[in-house]
Amino acid sequence: MISIENITFGYNHRHMVLQDFSLTFQAGGIYGLLGKNGTGKSTLLYLMMGLLRPKKGMVRVNGTLSCKRDPEIMQEMFIVPEEYDLPAIDLRDYVHSLKPFYPRFSEELLEKCLEGFEMDPNVNLGSLSLGQKKKVYMCVALATNTRFLLMDEPTNGLDILSKSQFRKVVITGMSEEKTIIISTHQVHDVEHLLDHVVIIDQNSILLDKPLTEEKGPVDLEKLFIETVNH
């Protein structure tokens, strides 16, 4: 479980991105974290990872403060940020450097995910396009088998076919023990993946509920617009 408890955070003293904000992500399932630009979605992901420290309040991962970056907690967490770069080395060498930090890393799952994206496992990361790097990095992220996987705008930069592949790859890498939190504006890319949706706005949680398709497929864009305009 990830527990965000009355946190306040800002990148400067004049403007707080989040103020006295609380939210809980229960273990298990795929969460969609939605909100308008500037509501702090990416900031929340970095606070969960302990890469940012709240000015007030606490973020706990399975009871441990995330800002302590405890190795036992960090081996259970992985983040796919919106923007990143990868070293110009072979994928196998990159995986070899990561595996010691993630005890449940699965090369078998990595190969399945790469196959889902139609990516060759024998590639040099420096030769890949931005979209290809994103696909490889998401495969690596799923293969770490961490209990918590955070993704920030994972489908940005992917073409239509790759977005369809993304959904299948995430399902391939999902298990009952995993919690995946996806922050995105591309709601149609993820709406059939999500078990739960959270919509935030101006330090408020506008919606925090499980998604069911008992009455038919959920139109996430319509739900978002209705919620933020209520």
Q: Which residue has the tokens 């995105």?
A: 184
What tokens appear for 57 in the block?
């309040």
Q: DSSP for 189-227?
A: HHTTT-SEEEEEETTEEEEEEE---TTS---HHHHHHHH
The pLDDT of residue 60: 95
- Say if CB 181 and CB 151 are below 8 A apart: yes
The residue segments making up the domain with residue 160 are: 2-228
**% of the chain at pLDDT higher than 70:** 98
Q: What is the pLDDT of residue 13?
A: 76
The pLDDT, as a whole number, for residue 218 is: 77
pLDDT tens for 29-86 read: 999 999 988 888 999 999 999 999 999 999 999 999 999 999 999 999 999 998 888 8
The per-residue pLDDT of the chain, averaged, comes to: 91
Instruction: Give pLDDT tens digits for 112-154.
Output: 999 999 999 999 999 999 889 999 999 999 999 999 999 999 9
Q: Which of 9-18, 138-147, 177-186, 196-205 comes out lowest in average pLDDT? A: 9-18
Q: Where are the beta strands (DSSP E) in 91-220?
A: 148-152, 179-183, 196-201, 204-210
Q: What is the CATH number of the domain that holds 189?
A: 3.40.50.300
Place of tokens 């992901």: 45
Q: Which pLDDT belongs to residue 146?
A: 96
- Helix/strand/coil for 151: strand
pLDDT band with cut points at 50, 70 and 90 for residue 12? confident
Short-list 174, 138, 150, 169, CA closest to 74: 150
Cβ-contact 104, 140 below 8 angstroms: no
For residue 167, give the DSSP letter: H
Q: In this structure, are residues 227 and 206 in contact, taking their beta carbons and an 8 Å threshold? A: yes
pTM, two decimals, is 0.93
Please count the structural domains in the chain: 1
